[in-house]
Amino acid sequence: MSRKLFGTDGVRGRANTYPMTAEMALRLGAAAGRYFRRDGSTAHRVVIGKDTRLSGYMLENALTAGLTSTGMNVLLLGPVPTPAVGFLTRSMRADLGVMISASHNPHHDNGIKFFGPDGFKLSDEAEAEIEAMLDGEIALAPADEIGRAKRIDDAVGRYQEFVKTTFPAGLRLDGLKVVIDCANGAAYKAAPQVLWELGAEVIPVGVSPNGTNINDRCGSTHTETAAEAVVAHGAHVGISLDGDADRVMILDETGRVADGDQIMALLAARWAEEGRLRGGTLVATVMSNLGLERFMAGRGLRLERTAVGDRYVVEAMRKGGWNLGGEQSGHIVMTDFATTGDGLLAGLHFLAEMARDGQPASRLVRQFDTVPQLLKNVRFAAGARPLEADSVKSAIAANEARIAGKGRILIRKSGTEPLIRVMAECEDAGLLAEVVDEIVAAVAAAA
């Protein structure tokens, strides 16, 4: 069963434009409610969280209406990180969790992603079944079985306490000055508070959301803001989250950025030394740098690659019984603690390494030398299929032949935006630039 509405991370689009309309959110809520009430039983519940986008109010109300119309009882969490929804879905014994967020996208976008009762994101198959239900009549609950809605006032506090339990016992962050950039997003309360409670001196950035400034020149996709704060305040380290706080970038005391690959390398090496890295395997996507693969192999460890998307990383981890994975973009998944990427949790475990060994961040963020990598995005028009054009196929084939034995090329369509992503790796930086530029030009001409 195919999916057209759902992408790699739920349903996403521009707010108040299909599919991110109140009407579609209501129907999605009703379909999801009916999907989880197929046995006809009562007393089902769902938790709904959101980030700080203005459109979150509209979508939250519409989803609540749809879910209660099928008999689901709704627990409203308010603004919380995406990983908090995964955690609270499981801890509150809910049948379904919903997060309203477009992650790192601008404020005018929004999205809806679903979590199952185990706290993990729904499978492709489950999403396809829910999507198929939208084409027909969705059976509503009898009048006396309509669901209720209730706001959970301490949702952020519950998540904060959970995150702190994952921090190594006996360690504190005393003496560390930490810049935390919350991207004016979902972690604007939780992240600074957790760091302060663990003893850090906290310099908060991006903690004044107004509904339209989420990810605006701040957060993990605009690390220059946190870098400036680190240098200006003489901080030891910076932690930069995205709008829903499921991804992170780390900045050392000079403002240099460490992406998800470097963080995963640090954690994988530590866990392997302690005998905690299950199967001696780290799971990452095809986007992760070749240097990471070499780093793992040099330690007798293994890198398992998946398709792009943290959901596919998690699926591989669960199937293989592995407990550490993530993406270069900063999703770090530690299934010993969480069911999805958690930027704050990953940041804390980086800080634990600093607190344990007294090493500066600049030493920890450089675990391996990266192979030169270049990524360019090409936006395409609605209805266009540039990757199917013969000219694009020819350009890709020709440049794959040029780079053979020296590197690799990866071309893919974004699962969340109308973009073609052109990425290549090669030790020869000049050849790397030529290869990417030729393919980008061909894609742009067909877009």
DSSP string, 166-216: TSPTT---TT-EEEEE-TTSTTTTHHHHHHHHTT-EEEEES----SS-TTS
| Total domains present in the chain | 4
Residues 358 and 386 both lie in one domain: no
State residue 375 phi and psi, 5-degree precision.
-125, 130
Residues 33 and 147 both lie in one domain: yes
Residues 377 and 357 both lie in one domain: no
Largest CA distance in the chain: 69
Q: Could you tell me if residue 334 is inside a domain?
A: yes
Residue 254: is its pLDDT beyond 60? yes
Q: Could you tell me if residue 317 is inside a domain?
A: yes
Q: What is the DSSP letter of 96?
A: E
- For residue 430, the enclosing domain spans 373-446
- Beta bridge mates, 379: 419
Q: Which of 257, 279, 310 is the last residue before a domain boundary?
A: 257
Tokens linked to 340: 């999805």
Residues 54 and 111 both lie in one domain: yes
Q: Which of 103, 220, 240, 329 is catalytic?
A: 103
Residues 303 and 246 both lie in one domain: no
Task: Provide the CA 189 distance to its chain's centre, in angstroms.
Answer: 19
pTM confidence score: 0.90
| Those residues with Cβ within 8 angstroms of residue 136's Cβ, 6 or more apart along the chain or in another chain | none
39-75 pLDDT, tens digit per residue, is 656 679 999 999 999 999 999 999 999 999 999 999 9
Residues 15 and 148 both lie in one domain: yes
Q: Could you tell me if residue 6 is inside a domain?
A: no
Residues 190 and 275 both lie in one domain: no
3-state secondary structure of 271: helix
* Bridge pairing between strands 237-241 and 149-151: unpaired
Between the CA of residue 15 and those of 106, 110, 173, what are the distances in Å?
11, 6, 40
106-141 pLDDT, tens digit per residue, is 999 999 999 999 999 998 899 999 999 999 999 999
CATH value at residue 317: 3.40.120.10
| Cα separation, 113 vs 287, whole angstroms | 23
Chain mean pLDDT for the chain: 95
Q: Could you tell me if residue 4 is inside a domain?
A: no
Q: Could you tell me if residue 2 is inside a domain?
A: no
For residues 83 and 345, is the Cβ–Cβ distance under 8 A?
yes
Residues 17 and 112 both lie in one domain: yes
Q: Could you tell me if residue 1 is inside a domain?
A: no
Residue 401: is its pLDDT beyond 70? yes
| Residue 288 annotated among the catalytic residues of the structure | no
Residue 1: is its pLDDT beyond 70? no
151-175 pLDDT, tens digit per residue, is 999 999 999 999 999 999 999 999 9
Gyration radius of the chain's alpha carbons = 22
φ/ψ bin of 255: left (φ > 0), alpha (ψ from -120 to 50), beta (otherwise): left
Residues 184 and 145 both lie in one domain: no
| Those residues with Cβ within 8 angstroms of residue 95's Cβ, 6 or more apart along the chain or in another chain | 36, 44, 45, 46, 72, 117
